[in-house]
A and B are shown apart, each in its own frame.
Chain A
C-alpha cells in the first residue's frame, strides 16, 4: 500500500534559519504530493502541492520539488519566522478517477524561536 515517511521532530530553529523537512513516499503509479500545515487547535491547511515529477510547489516562501527518482518531496524555506511554528504534514493522493484517499505522514512539529 501507499505510505509516507517524514523526518521525526520536533524541529527547533531560530528565526531566519533555513528549514528542511524531509518526506519520502511509497506509491504505485504517479501520485500527487502535498504539504499541509496545522496550527494549534485548527484543522489542516493546504500549503503547496505538485502533481507530476519535477514539479515545484511553492507558497508563502515554502517550496518542495517532486522527485520521482528519489521518491521524495522535501519541504524547504529559506528564512523561517516565529509565525511558521506549526505541525507540517506530507501527504500523497493516488492519481486515478476513484482516488480520494490521501495518505499522510505522522507530521513534523516546527518551533521557531525569536
Chain B
C-alpha cells in the first residue's frame, strides 16, 4: 500500500520565480494538508484541502496557494519566491478532518537562491 508520495524530492529555484510541488495522498485518504518545516523547527501549517476546497489556512501569505484534484492529489504553488521560503515542504494526508493523525510524505526540499 503506497504511502504519501511527493515530487520532486529536491528543487533549486531563483528568487522571484514560481514553484509547484505535488502530492499524492495515501490510498483511501481524502484530506491533504501542507506544512513548511524550516531547519531545526517543527512543521508549520500552510493549508488543508478537503473535497477540492481549501478548508483551513495558516499564517502564510497569498503567495502560497494550492489545489486539490478529484483523485485527492494536491499541488502547492508558491509565487515570487523569497530566500526565506527555503524549507522542507511536507504533505500529509488523512482520512478525515478530525485530526486523528497524519501520514506524511518524505517532503520536497526547496532551496531558493
Contact = CB atoms under 8 A, between A and B. Distances in A.
Contact of A97 (B98, B101, B102): B98
Interface residues of A, number: 29
A41 to B, nearest CB: 8
Contacts, number: 79
B25 interface: no
Contacts of B55: 98, 100
Contacts of A97: 97-98
A102 B100 contact: no
B42 A104 contact: yes
Interface in A46-75: 46, 49, 51
B86 interface: no
B50 to A, nearest CB: 7
B45 A102 contact: yes
B66 interface: no
Contact of B99 (A36, A94, A107): A94
Contacts of B104: 36, 43-45
